[in-house]
Amino acid sequence: MPAYMIVEVETTDEALMVEYRKHTPGLVAKFGGKFIVRGGKTTCLEGDWTPPRVVMLEFPDMASLERFYHSPEYKPVLAMRLKAGKSRAIAVEGYSA
């Protein structure tokens, strides 16, 4: 069953975030993941949620997502993102018909 990582990001250090973005595609792919959403326009349909940036990654399963997120390779890259802004992230299992 696929799994998704959804991240809301508010960038406070654009230069560092640009550097972070250089490292993520290869690492995501290494763990079988791919970008589904990487920024882009958002429109609030309900409530008052207006995130400045949303990123969504798809992985083959939750185990692959967790291996990516907790990997030694991603740890220093994640530290860049956390230093470059404020973020909230969740992992959620997908639906398999």
Segment 48-80, tens digit of pLDDT:
999 999 999 999 999 999 999 999 999 999 999
β-partners of residue 37 are: 56
User: Does the 3-93 domain belong in CATH 3.30.70.100?
Assistant: yes
Distance CA(10)–CA(28), nearest Å, equals 21
Q: pTM of the full predicted structure?
A: 0.91
Token look-up 């990001």 returns: 9
pLDDT confidence band for 42 (50 / 70 / 90): very high
DSSP secondary structure code for residue 32 in this structure? T
Distance CA(66)–CA(74), nearest Å, equals 11
Residue ranges per domain, the chain? 3-93
Dihedrals φ, ψ of 65, to 5°?
A: -60, -45
Mean pLDDT of 26-30: 97
SS3 category, 13: coil
Distance CA(56)–CA(6), nearest Å, equals 5
Residue 83 has pLDDT above 90, yes or no: yes
Give 16's Cβ-side CA count (13 Å radius). Answer: 15
Distance CA(71)–CA(69), nearest Å, equals 6
